[in-house]
Amino acid sequence: MSKRTVITFGTFDVFHVGHVRVLQRAAELGDRLVVGVSADALNIAKKGRPPVFNQEERLEIISALKVVDEVFVEESLELKRDYILRYGGDVLVMGDDWAGKFDWVGDVCDVVYLPRTPSVSTTGLIEHIASLG
Ligand code: C2G
């Protein structure tokens, strides 16, 4: 039987336990995990601010994880189908904050949304650290 490739995407800025858990759960859905790490420019366009850690740093962190087999830079949300085809994704996994948003790639792979880990977020961590003064 051929190997099942899981593909997922994210910024993974200020890496935290919610990030590691979604990657671990994604990896369990197949034999190989490919991660698209969003470009700094994509973050600025999406969130109006650059990430705390730049894309080279975020790629370095994600590629060091034992559940991750391959990483690449995600330049645009609209290229999702192209990335899935290029990296041979059989299943796209996203956190459920994206529920329904990527159903349009369902013609080329399965699409699964996993529940987010409660009570932890990059924004919350940035605010917490800033409040420490
Ligand atoms: N996540 C989670 N639990 C949290 C926080 C995040 O499961 N408490 C998941 C998100 O649902 C996502 C992944 O961790 O699947 C990465 O989250 P972000 O870094 O916030 O990614 P985002 O900026 O949403 O970028 O193409 C889509 C984008 O690149 C996704």
State mean pLDDT over 34-57.
96
Atom of ligand 1 nearest to the CA of 21: 7
| Plot region of 12 (φ>0 → left; ψ -120 to 50 → alpha; else → beta) | left
The CA distances from residue 24 to 6, 51, 66, 84, 86, in Å, are: 11, 23, 9, 19, 22
pLDDT of residue 133: 81
Best residue for ligand 1 mutational test, from 22, 44, 68, 79 (most atoms within 8 Å of Cβ): 22
User: Which alpha helices (H) appear in the chain, and where do they start and end?
Assistant: 17-27, 40-47, 55-63, 80-86, 122-131
Domains in the chain, start-ordered, CATH in brackets?
5-132 (3.40.50.620)
Best residue for ligand 1 mutational test, from 71, 96, 97 (most atoms within 8 Å of Cβ): 97
Q: Report how far ligand 1's centroid is from the alpha carbon of 12 (Å).
A: 7
> What's the rounded Cα separation, in Å, for the pair 30 and 62?
18
Token pair, residue 104, equals 């349009």
The answer, yes or no, to whether any atom of ligand 1 lies below 6 A from the CB of 15, is: no
| pLDDT tens per residue across span 68-124 | 999 999 999 999 999 999 999 999 999 999 999 999 999 999 999 999 999 999 999
The answer, yes or no, to whether any atom of ligand 1 lies below 6 A from the CB of 83, is: no
Total-model pTM: 0.96
